[in-house]
A and B are shown apart, each in its own frame.
Chain A
Amino acid sequence: MKPRDLADLAFRNLREAILRNVLTTIGVAVGVASLVAMLSLGVGLQELASKRLSQSGLFDTIVVTPKNNFRGMGRPQREAPSDKPPRVLDDDARKEMEKLPNVIEVYPQVRFFTEVRFNDKPFATVVAGMPESSRNSGSFDAMQGKFFTSPTANEAILQIEFAKDLSDKPASLVGQDLVLRYAERQALPANNDSSNPAGEPSGGFSVVPKELRLKIVGIVETEPAAGYGGIGNARLLMPLATASTLRAAQVNDLRDIVRDNSTNKTTYASLSVRAKSPSQVEALEASIKAMGFGAFSLLDASKSLQTFFKVFDLLLGIFGSLALAVATLGIVNTLVMAILERRREIGVLKALGAADSDVQQLFFVEAGVMGLFGGFLGVLFGWLLGRAITLGTNLYLKRQNLNPIELSSVPWWLVIAAIVFAILVSLAAGLYPASRAAKLNPVDALRYE
């Protein structure tokens, strides 16, 4: 028979025992739904975790330091000693790194202790410069207020605890001004000797107190990349470019003076290299190391996390499959019943010239159609179930004064995989009934009343 005729007849047969076939299909749908709901929770939790982690900037950022510089890492770098002399982390190196593939941004760490005046009261805190790329990192999605209007704006985003220090009503701070008091590094005038005709800085500097008025534009829960590669949690964030122009005295400045700074170029204690995605970090880290710098990322931690989620998904999938296994038995049952009922019809079909394979395919297609519809319905049910679980969880979180989360996620591959899986399982379930129907002796079947 032609596929279209086969499908026609299969649909017709399914419609004839509509109640039973609908119930069987719903059985498949429930099976698929439980599988989809379980897996969507697994995927959702994984996405949630990796999103939070990538928002934190931990997994797509590589901290680059000059070799043998242990500051900020807290531990020595375990790598084979290379023959290359340690390179200075300067602007040339920065530009070189910016040219590496898959690099979004290379930026220095700008962090300094300072005093903030608000309502004429002093508050000590740490200020950090935020690179422009962090705008899209998702870290500021849930903030109150807005991100900086421009990369060079005189604006500030406060960390919530600091905002609470400043005011009883942190939300009211947005739009108000505060004054940043900081120590500006001013290079000492050049010595008037002929070796330095251009009047370049001598390498020493004096420190001058300065003030800058900043407008508070937002309040954020936590600082992205807090405490990683830096000097502790910053509680006041400002645009990196603005922070850089302040030339505020930083912790490593003193060491820079002591060091022989023969090139007279800006050098950095460390640079952060942001990769396009965590998956590119490993290769990027290797190429930076090959350039002669120390590089460090938290990739290993992310790897073990992935392993955990794979196992977690597997377990959820196994539990979800149990319901589908039960549904499979339902299909077998329905089709075996149908053979009994349609014994005579099968006999007539064979007498009219249906081959065994025609009869087999007919039952097979019927099983497949139930699987197809069951799969579609199941994905829908499963998605709804996931939504319901997310909704319930968020209601609970809201009562606990926590932010809502997206608990379940149904990616397109899960939709397709679930439907294909439902069809395959249904076809497998149809295997036995179909071959039984095909083997039916037409003479016996025609005699059957």
Chain B
Amino acid sequence: MTNPAMPQAETAIQLEHVSRQYTMGEATIQAVNDVSLSVARNEFLALLGSSGSGKSTLLNLIAGLDRPTSGSILAQGQNLAGLTSLELARYRCNTIGMIFQSFNLLPRMTLEENIELPLRLAEVPREERSGRVREALERVQLTHRLGHRPMQLSGGEQQRVAIARALVNRPKILLADEPTGNLDSATGEAILSLLREVQQQLGMTIVMVTHERPLAERYADRLAIMGDGKLLSATETTKEAAQ
């Protein structure tokens, strides 16, 4: 809305010539090289590519966990380059939900405590929290395991808890880094179907990094393929499973 040239209402994420270099000793590694991409609101975008193609780095840049060497990122109308480290943390807390290949649940906390963590960070009033946690767990159908610890759950259940944790602060954008990488194909499928479901129910934008092209083709709206840090192509899917 600040930039009339860009249809803000339709665009959730706008990447303009984004590059990210790392220096390792003498060598410079171009992890992300001049990527421009826009993701519409309520879109489910899958980022595909081989290992080291820069897709996870791109995801971290969108998440505000990392900053680009050059280029700009606009997410939900916020220019990430202009945010301080504290504002970036607030952005991660309120605008972004993240899930990972290895779930990243804190093993010594119960599911309830794990899901409550983002609420603590967002300073949500205490009396609201248990309702919000329950609501998030209901969405992933794990309400009965509230007091369990992550290790008592199967991989698929753990990923569902991670999704609940990512949703609890009601973010606009969900970023998923290989969410099915540690799961068998049937469970992976169930997770993607769950992601698709919450995306449609809550009206979220999803960017998912994955290796599994067949799965992505079935659930995502669009595939963006990366190689050597560059965006090779971005194509609409037929989305058979969702139809």
Interface of A with B (CB < 8 Å)?
Answer: 1-2, 4-5, 8-9, 12, 16, 344-345, 347-358, 442-443, 446
| Nearest-Cβ distance from residue A1 to partner chain B, whole angstroms | 6
Task: Flag if B92 contacts A353 (CB, 8 Å).
Answer: yes
Contacts of B121 in A (CB 8 A): 1, 349, 352-354, 358
| Nearest-Cβ distance from residue B162 to partner chain A, whole angstroms | 10
In the complex, the 10 A-B pairs of residues with the closest C-beta atoms, listed nearest first: A353-B93, A355-B89, A5-B120, A353-B92, A353-B121, A442-B65, A348-B104, A352-B118, A355-B86, A351-B98
| Nearest-Cβ distance from residue A161 to partner chain B, whole angstroms | 74
Contacts of B123 in A (CB 8 A): 1-2, 5
B55 within 8 A of A: no
CB 8 Å contact bits of B58-72 with A (1 = contact, 0 = none):
001001011000000
CB 8 Å contact bits of B81-113 with A (1 = contact, 0 = none):
000011001111110101010001010110000
Task: Flag if B93 contacts A443 (CB, 8 Å).
Answer: no
Task: Flag if A443 contacts B66 (CB, 8 Å).
Answer: yes
| Nearest-Cβ distance from residue B103 to partner chain A, whole angstroms | 10
Identify A344's interface contact among B85, B98, B104, B126, CB under 8 A: B104
A12 to B89, CA, bound (A): 23
| Nearest-Cβ distance from residue B222 to partner chain A, whole angstroms | 24
Contacts of A9 in B (CB 8 A): 120
A356 to B92, CA, bound (A): 12
Task: Flag if B169 contacts A350 (CB, 8 Å).
Answer: no
Residue of B nearest to A447 (CB): B56
Task: Flag if A353 contacts B118 (CB, 8 Å).
Answer: yes
A358 to B89, CA, bound (A): 10
Contacts of B169 in A (CB 8 A): 353
Task: Flag if B85 contacts A352 (CB, 8 Å).
Answer: no
Residue of A nearest to B177 (CB): A446
A354 to B117, CA, bound (A): 10
User: Dominant SS at the B interface?
Assistant: helix
Contacts of A345 in B (CB 8 A): 106
B242 within 8 A of A: no
B134 within 8 A of A: no
Contacts of B60 in A (CB 8 A): 443
Contacts of B66 in A (CB 8 A): 442-443
Residue of A nearest to B105 (CB): A348
Contact count band on B = 20 to 34
A180 to B165, CA, bound (A): 96
B122 within 8 A of A: yes
Task: Flag if B104 contacts A351 (CB, 8 Å).
Answer: yes
User: Dominant SS at the A interface?
Assistant: helix
Task: Flag if B109 contacts A352 (CB, 8 Å).
Answer: no
Contacts of B89 in A (CB 8 A): 350, 353-356, 358
Residue of A nearest to B88 (CB): A355
Residue of A nearest to B92 (CB): A353
Contacts of B108 in A (CB 8 A): 12, 16
Contacts of A8 in B (CB 8 A): 120
Contacts of B85 in A (CB 8 A): 355-356
A349 to B165, CA, bound (A): 12
| Nearest-Cβ distance from residue A71 to partner chain B, whole angstroms | 81
Contacts of B92 in A (CB 8 A): 350-353
Tell me which residues from 142 to 200 in chain B have a Cβ below 8 Å from any Cβ of chain A. Answer: 165, 169
Contacts of B94 in A (CB 8 A): 353
Task: Flag if A348 contacts B106 (CB, 8 Å).
Answer: yes
| Nearest-Cβ distance from residue B145 to partner chain A, whole angstroms | 20
Residue of A nearest to B122 (CB): A353
| Nearest-Cβ distance from residue B75 to partner chain A, whole angstroms | 14
Most central of A2, A344, A348, A357 by chain B CB within 10 Å:
A348
Contacts of A352 in B (CB 8 A): 92-93, 98, 117-118, 121, 165
Beyond contacts A353-B89, A442-B66: 12 other A-B pairs, Cβ-Cβ < 8 A, are A9-B120, A348-B106, A350-B89, A351-B65, A351-B104, A352-B98, A353-B92, A353-B118, A355-B86, A356-B85, A358-B89, A446-B104
Contacts of A358 in B (CB 8 A): 89, 121
Contacts of B165 in A (CB 8 A): 352
Contacts of A442 in B (CB 8 A): 65-66
- Between-chain CB contacts (< 8 Å), 20 pairs: A1-B120, A1-B121, A1-B123, A2-B120, A5-B120, A8-B120, A12-B108, A16-B108, A349-B117, A349-B121, A350-B89, A351-B65, A351-B104, A352-B98, A353-B91, A353-B94, A353-B122, A355-B86, A355-B89, A355-B90
A357 to B109, CA, bound (A): 22
A352 to B60, CA, bound (A): 12
Residue of A nearest to B93 (CB): A353
| Nearest-Cβ distance from residue A391 to partner chain B, whole angstroms | 44
A63 to B102, CA, bound (A): 87
| Nearest-Cβ distance from residue B63 to partner chain A, whole angstroms | 7
A347 to B177, CA, bound (A): 14
A350 to B86, CA, bound (A): 11
Task: Flag if A350 contacts B120 (CB, 8 Å).
Answer: no
Most central of A4, A16, A353 by chain B CB within 10 Å:
A353
Identify B109's interface contact among A12, A354, A446, CB under 8 A: A12
| Nearest-Cβ distance from residue B35 to partner chain A, whole angstroms | 17
Identify B86's interface contact among A1, A5, A348, A357, CB under 8 A: A357
A5 to B165, CA, bound (A): 17
Contacts of A357 in B (CB 8 A): 86
Residue of A nearest to B65 (CB): A442
| Nearest-Cβ distance from residue B230 to partner chain A, whole angstroms | 20
A348 to B123, CA, bound (A): 17
Most central of B90, B91, B93, B121 by chain A CB within 10 Å:
B121
Residue of A nearest to B119 (CB): A5
Contacts of A353 in B (CB 8 A): 89-94, 96, 118, 121-122, 169
Contacts of B93 in A (CB 8 A): 352-354
Residue of A nearest to B89 (CB): A355
A2 to B98, CA, bound (A): 22
A349 to B123, CA, bound (A): 14
Residue of A nearest to B87 (CB): A355
Contacts of A443 in B (CB 8 A): 60, 65-66
Most central of B92, B98, B120 by chain A CB within 10 Å:
B120
